[in-house]
Amino acid sequence: RGEKDAHKLMIGEFIPNPVQQQRLNYLRHFCQAKRKKDGGTSLRTFIQQRFLEREQKGHIFVSRVLPVLYCAVPKVASTNWKRMLLLFDGIKSNISEMGVKSKVHTQRGLRPLYHVKGHAMPKVIKDSFKFMFVRHPFERLASAYRNKFADNNTYFEKTYGSRILKMFRKDLSKEEYNRGRGATFQEFVRWIVQVEPYDPHWYPATKLCHPCQIRYNFIGKMESLLRDAKEVVRRVDSVHKFPKTWTDGYKVSSNDLMFDLFSTLDEKDILGIYKYYKEDFDAFDYGLPRIQHSYNNKNNLLLRTLKKILNGKLT
pTM, rounded to two decimals = 0.88
Q: Is the pLDDT of residue 287 over 50?
A: yes
| Among candidate residues 163, 153, 155, 164, the one with its CA nearest the CA of residue 186 | 164
CA distance 272 to 192: 9
CA distance 294 to 101: 28
pLDDT the model gives residue 48: 73
Q: Which residue type occupies 36?
A: K
- The mean-pLDDT minimum among 108-112, 177-181, 276-280 falls in 108-112
pLDDT band for 47, please (50, 70, 90 cuts): confident
Helices (H), 60-134: 78-88, 101-104, 121-127
Q: Is 244 contained in some domain?
A: no
Chain segment 144-191, per-residue pLDDT in tens: 999 999 888 889 999 999 999 999 999 999 999 999 999 999 999 999
Q: Is 230 contained in some domain?
A: yes
Q: Is 8 contained in some domain?
A: no
Q: Contact, 185 vs 200, CB < 8 A?
A: no
Instruction: Measure the N-to-C terminal CA separation of the chain; round to a whole number of Å.
Output: 56
**φ/ψ of residue 239, rounded to 5:** -80, -10
Instruction: For residue 84, list its beta bridge partners.
Output: none
pLDDT the model gives residue 127: 93
CA distance 282 to 26: 8
Q: Is the pLDDT of residue 101 over 70?
A: no
Chain segment 48-58, per-residue pLDDT in tens: 765 455 565 67
Helix (H, G, I), strand (E, B) or coil at 60: strand
Q: Is the pLDDT of residue 193 over 60?
A: yes
Proportion of the chain above pLDDT 70, given as a percent: 82
| Among candidate residues 199, 155, 143, the one with its CA nearest the CA of residue 181 | 155
Q: Is 191 contained in some domain?
A: no
CA distance 273 to 275: 5
| Among candidate residues 164, 55, 137, 71, the one with its CA nearest the CA of residue 110 | 71
Instruction: Please count the structural domains in the chain.
Output: 1
Residues 6+ apart with CB under 8 A from 315: 271, 309
Query: Dmax of the chain from CA atoms?
Result: 68
The mean pLDDT value for 74-94 works out to 87
Residue 222: give the domain boundaries. 18-138+201-236
pLDDT the model gives residue 6: 46
pLDDT the model gives residue 95: 63
CA distance 94 to 83: 9
Q: Is 145 contained in some domain?
A: no
Q: Contact, 20 vs 201, CB < 8 A?
A: no
Q: Is 121 contained in some domain?
A: yes
Helix (H, G, I), strand (E, B) or coil at 305: helix
Q: Contact, 269 vs 189, CB < 8 A?
A: yes
Q: Is 217 contained in some domain?
A: yes
| Among candidate residues 214, 244, 240, the one with its CA nearest the CA of residue 93 | 240
pLDDT the model gives residue 38: 83
Q: Is the pLDDT of residue 4 over 60?
A: no
Q: Is 223 contained in some domain?
A: yes
Tell me how far CA of residue 208 lies from CA of 24, 59, 198, 243, 252, in angstroms.
18, 7, 10, 24, 28
